[in-house]
Chains A and B, each alone.
Chain A
Amino acid sequence: MIRVAVQSGAIDVPAEIDLHDAGGHGATASFIGRVRGDDGLIELFLEHHPVMTEASLADLAHVAADRWQLAALTLIHRVGGMTPGETIVLILASSRHRAEALAACEFLIDRLKTDVMLWKRETFSDGRVQWVEPREGDHARAGRWD
């Protein structure tokens, strides 16, 4: 089962794990990305495209599922405003053995930083507001999977 979602509501991690685990898999790797409260950050806002964001997440999910023969994959990205500690992204990848699940998980987190229409805007307690700039290292990591 492949489950892909873009949502403005909080990601219910335990509920998503239960749903994912219903298939009973040999190995499940997970990645949970959370908002960091660095430098007095009080809000992280994720802007997205109403159609293309979910479509490109679905494309990535199918590429990963095919490449590593995954038994199940959950890929959920939060959009809109969120505060430190909240979950931005959840990836659950399952396969018969650990290597495939771990590789798929790493592929997905690397690629969704460069291939998916999402933009982060940070608001700080001193009033500063700034759009996050892409990092060269992210592109280098994403390029390893070509």
Chain B
Amino acid sequence: MALRLAYFAWVREHMGVAEEDAAPPAEVATVADLIGWLAARDERGGQAFAEPDRIRAAIDGMMAVPGTKIAGAGEVALFPPVTGG
């Protein structure tokens, strides 16, 4: 399953790229699974996703929660809590 991942703010800085294509294994079914998989995958992922509670996600432009399924997703955006205004 090819998936486009987009990173923002300090998640992007830790990952070293703004976006990338990934192919998580089939058992990665939810947003929480994906974050756990990225955290375990390499050192940059370990830094970016060390605290899953501080990560928010959107799937194809819609906000998601940890339990949201990623099957069929084109793009998953992963980012810290927002701080605009």
Asked whether A and B interact, the reply is yes
Interface of A with B (CB < 8 Å)?
33, 46-49, 51-52, 55, 77, 88-89, 109, 112-121, 131-134, 138
| CA distance in complex: A51, B85 (Å) | 17
Instruction: Tell which of B26-34, B44-52, B65-73, B74-82 binds the partner.
Output: B74-82
Whether, in the assembled complex, B58 has its beta carbon less than 8 Å from a beta carbon of chain A, the answer is yes
> Contacts A49-B8, A49-B77 known; A134 to B82 CB distance under 8 Å?
yes
Report Cα–Cα, A133/B83, bound state, in Å.
Answer: 7
B interface size (C-beta, 8 A): 15
Supposing A49-B77, A134-B82 touch, asked if A55 and B8 sit within 8 A by C-beta, the answer is: no
Chain B residues with CB below 8 A from A88, complex form: 85
Known A116-B82, A134-B82; contact A121-B77, beta-carbon cutoff 8 A: no
State which residues 5-35 of B face A: CB under 8 Å: 6, 8-10, 12
A-side contacts of B12, CB under 8 Å? 47
Minimum distance in angstroms from A135 CB to a CB of chain B = 8
C-alpha gap A133/B12 in the complex (Å): 16
Give chain B nearest CB distance to A55 CB in angstroms: 7
B10 and A131 contacting across the interface, CB-CB below 8 Å? yes
- Among residues of B, the one whose C-beta sits closest to the C-beta of A55 is B61
* A112 to B12 Cα, complex, angstroms: 22
Evaluate contact between A112 and B61: CB separation under 8 angstroms: no
> Would B10 and A112 count as touching, CB distance under 8 A?
no
Instruction: Give chain B nearest CB distance to A31 CB in angstroms.
Output: 10
Q: Which residue of A has the minimal Cβ distance to B75?
A: A51
In the bound complex, residues from chain A placing their C-beta under 8 Å from that of B84 are 46, 48, 77, 89, 112-113, 116-120
What residues on A are CB-neighbors of B83 within 8 Å?
113, 118-120, 131-134
Known contacts A49-B8, A117-B8, A119-B8: A131-B82 contact under CB 8 Å: no
